Structure 1
Amino acid sequence: MNFLSHFYFDRNCNDAYHVLGSVMPDLLRNADKEAQIKIERLPSQNNPAITSIISGWKKHIEIDRHFHSSLFFKTHAHQLKLLFVPVLTESEVKPFFLGHIALELILDNLLLSSHTVFADDFYDHLKNAEPEKIADFLVLNQIHPQKFLNFYASFIHEKYLYSYRQPDSVAHALKGICSRIWKNAFTKSQEAAVTEVVKFYRNILAPEYMLIFDETEHLLIQG
């Protein structure tokens, strides 16, 4: 799941560090591809902020495990892949990869556009997490903090998740993600075709997308 979909499960949480932890695996991956954290190896901490980040991180892993093994994910990622296959002729982008990421971004779009989650609430939590305490967590994991903190400040400042309200912006975000992996991800005509697929499939998902959130929430409660 993407940032706002993870936030859905902590939308009523009042702990900024837990919310940060719930999206930090993805933030850290974007900030520094070489940084790795084995969260299960960390000993118990006396620092409440670090304890909360660890708790959020573990919840992130659990949510993704449920999501990626769900019939919902397997079905819709596959259907999107099939729609992307003719679009990606002569492109290096893998249709399965694009189907996977597109599904996650469409879910964020639906949560935002239905006012189920609010980007303001998400960013407010991130702003309330003190850089010094984030640095303590990174240093504990033998990661030099400044590279992440610079990325984190930019991520909050740019607020690009607001753009996910628009399907066109979702397609643009997909191009940006793919461009980090493949030098020439989409041509302009391919980007336009990806946009049409996103719009089409968003309408398919709209009536039933909350099923995966309800299912995942139930599994989280069961433990």
Structure 2
Amino acid sequence: MNFLSHFYFDRHSEDPHLVLGTVLPDLVKNARKDWNLHPERNAERFSSNFESSILEGWKRHMIVDRNFHNSEFFAEHTAGIKKAIIPALKNSVVRPSFLAHISLELMLDSTLLTENHVQTVDFYSHLRQSDREAINRFLKLNNIQDTSQFFIFFDKFIQSNYLESYRESQNIMYALNRICMRVWKDPLSDNEILVLGDILNDYHQNLLGNYMEIFEEINVKLIDS
């Protein structure tokens, strides 16, 4: 799941460090692809309240992603999106399975926003309130000694308010193209972007009828964990 979908499960929390932890795995990977953190393997290292809250959020992120990727909802909709976009990608280097996976996640984020289940102002407020020294210690305890690269990305991520753009359906295709550009050089032509945008917009509209079922399913798993 993407940032806002993870935030959904803890949107009522008053602990900014817990909320930060729920999205920190993705923030770290966006800051630098080769960083592989596994703080849950060394939980005893995180003794302060702030750091333990970050770790708790991190664990919740893992539970959410594991249940999402193993769900019938994920299998059904990634297969449906893949089938719909394969013809548009016949001359592209982009893997349909990759684009289907990311598309579904961005659709869910967008829908949570447009249906007013989450607000980006609340999400970014939690990130701003988190203690930078606690984040710095958390990263260093995970063997990231030069944390400056993370904080450069983190600050830009907050300042850009980028996730708010997901309210507009056309911006989903823009975001998808940007993600593909991290993996492939010149992944999509202008015409492919237009065609894919129409296909994904149609699929997104059909998703509106049952999108909440995956959040309800995962929420039960979080309660039971």
TM-score exceeds 0.5: yes
1:185 aligns to 2:187 (yes or no): yes
Q: Match of 1:204, as an amino acid?
A: N
- Contact kept? 1:7, 1:22, Cα under 8 Å: yes
Q: Match of 1:120, as an amino acid?
A: V
Q: How many positions carry a matched residue from both structures?
A: 223
Deviation at 1:157, TM superposition (A): 0.4
CA distance in 2, matches of 1:29, 1:178: 15
**Unaligned 5+ runs, structure 1:** none
The TM-score with structure 1 as length reference comes to: 0.98
**Unaligned 5+ runs, structure 2:** none
| Aligned partner of residue 85 in structure 1, secondary structure | helix
List structure 1 segments (4+ residues) > 4 angstroms apart after TM superposition.
none
Look up the match of 1:163.
165
Deviation at 1:35, TM superposition (A): 1.3
Look up the match of 2:4.
4
The TM-score with structure 2 as length reference comes to: 0.97
- Contact kept? 1:31, 1:148, Cα under 8 Å: yes
| Aligned-pair Cα RMSD in Å | 0.8
- Contact kept? 1:22, 1:58, Cα under 8 Å: yes
| Aligned partner of residue 43 in structure 1, secondary structure | helix
Q: Match of 1:34, as an amino acid?
A: D
Look up the match of 1:88.
89
Deviation at 1:46, TM superposition (A): 2.2
Deviation at 1:113, TM superposition (A): 0.3
Look up the match of 2:59.
58
Look up the match of 1:69.
70
- Contact kept? 1:167, 1:198, Cα under 8 Å: no
> After the TM superposition, which residues 76-115 of structure 1 pair with which residues of structure 2 at under 5 Å, given as runs?
76-115=77-116
CA distance in 1, matches of 2:221, 2:54: 21
Q: Match of 1:12, as an amino acid?
A: H
CA distance in 1, matches of 2:196, 2:112: 20
Q: Match of 1:89, as an amino acid?
A: K
Deviation at 1:222, TM superposition (A): 2.0
Look up the match of 1:33.
33
Q: Match of 1:202, as an amino acid?
A: H
Deviation at 1:170, TM superposition (A): 0.4
Residues 54-109 of structure 1, C-alpha deviations (whole Å, 9 max, x = no match)? 10001000000100000000000010011110111211000000000000000001
